[in-house]
Amino acid sequence: MKTIGALLKESINNLSLCGICTPRLDSEILIGHALSLERSFIIANYDYEVGEEHEKLFLELISRRCKRYPISQIIGKREFWGLDFLVNQHVLDPRPDSETIISTVLRYYRNKNKRLRIVDFGTGTGCLLISMLHEYKYSIGIGFEKNVNSYRTALNNIKRHNLLGRAKVIFDSWENSNDLFDLIISNPPYIKRNMLKKLQLEVQNEPTIALDGGSNGLKCYLSIFPVLKRSLKKGGFAVLEIGEAQNNIKKIIPFYGLIFVSYAYDLSGKKRCIVIRQA
């Protein structure tokens, strides 16, 4: 039997040859997953002997990583806002940049006891909606999701976080939302179509439907803005994630009878969200 240290040495070399930027970290995470052990145990016990079945499983996981599948898809979960979420090949991987939506909302609704009615357009894993309900414990929320596999993933995450009493997922497009909400959040697809093939290989292994923002990157926003106009309560806010293709998006907001409030920036200083309110 090989030890953890010996297997890590081999996998780190293999991942490096495949162009993986974090071969040691990825190897430690994957062997921990294969053995059902915490990473802290892995780091402290390189002499621990690994059985043949677990070794085989670990090598299969490394093989998938070499094919540039994201770590989260391989192990089936990802942390977001301090919470664990189930992920798979049908949903966009929750990213730290998207936590800017949560931190931005917290600046506008400082009273966490407020009873908000929240909706998440294109909910995917449900990570945004669930994180908001984790912060605002007296609020209720709805997620719209038109992809059936993503819908099931979001529903499973709602169950996982014991939120069936306060959250639900609607299997439908956000364009069919007609209710009124205090807060609307969304991380819509915003990558220009001609840029999709230039993304990291890991990102290219994620669902195209969750990335493709059309020829100019504005397709989804132009379908969201009319919904914001009819669905935002007076005094309510919408916080939408944006990318580089939406740098000047505030210029078109007045055409929809909405008011631009501000941009919000992520930890790297990039413009990451736009805040909008009812006119």
Question: pLDDT tens for residues 27-80?
Answer: 999 999 999 999 999 999 999 999 999 999 999 999 999 999 999 999 999 999
* pLDDT tens-digit series, residues 102-123: 999 999 999 999 999 999 999 9
Beta bridge partners of 262: 275
Could you identify the residue written with the tokens 């609607």?
A: 170
Please tell me the distance from the alpha carbon of residue 50 to that of residue 159, in angstroms, as a whole number.
Answer: 34
Q: Are residues 137 and 26 in the same domain?
A: no
**CATH code for the domain of 229:** 3.40.50.150
Helix, strand, coil percentages in the chain from 3-state DSSP, rounded to 5: 45, 20, 35
Please tell me the distance from the alpha carbon of residue 208 to that of residue 76, in angstroms, as a whole number.
Answer: 19
H or E stretch covering 38: none
- Cα–Cα nearest to 166, from 146, 144, 137, 186: 137
**Encoding tokens for residue 251?**
């210029």
Q: Are residues 82 and 62 in the same domain?
A: no
* pLDDT tens-digit series, residues 165-200: 999 999 999 999 999 999 999 999 999 999 999 999
**CATH code for the domain of 53:** 1.10.8
CB 226 within 8 A of CB 278: no
Domain boundary among 49, 67, 85: 67
Q: Are residues 35 and 128 in the same domain?
A: no
Q: Are residues 31 and 141 in the same domain?
A: no
Q: Are residues 189 and 216 in the same domain?
A: yes
- Cα–Cα nearest to 125, from 187, 214, 66: 187
Task: Tell which phi-psi region holds residue 93, choosing left (phi > 0), alpha (psi between -120 and 50) or beta.
Answer: beta
Q: Are residues 15 and 137 in the same domain?
A: no
Which residues, including other chains, have CB under 8 Å from residue 259's CB and lie 6 or more apart?
A: 253, 276, 277, 278, 279
Task: Tell which phi-psi region holds residue 149, choosing left (phi > 0), alpha (psi between -120 and 50) or beta.
Answer: alpha
How many domains does one find in the chain?
A: 2
Q: Are residues 85 and 41 in the same domain?
A: no
What integer pLDDT is reported at residue 77 of this predicted model? 95
Mean pLDDT in residue range 214-228:
96
Residue 210 carries which DSSP code?
G
Tell me the residue length of the chain: 279
Domain that holds residue 28: 2-67
Q: Are residues 50 and 118 in the same domain?
A: no
Q: Is residue 72 part of a domain?
A: no
- Output the pTM of the full model: 0.93
Q: Is residue 152 part of a domain?
A: yes
Q: How confident is the model at residue 7 (pLDDT cuts 50, 70, 90)?
A: very high
Q: How confident is the model at residue 279 (pLDDT cuts 50, 70, 90)?
A: confident
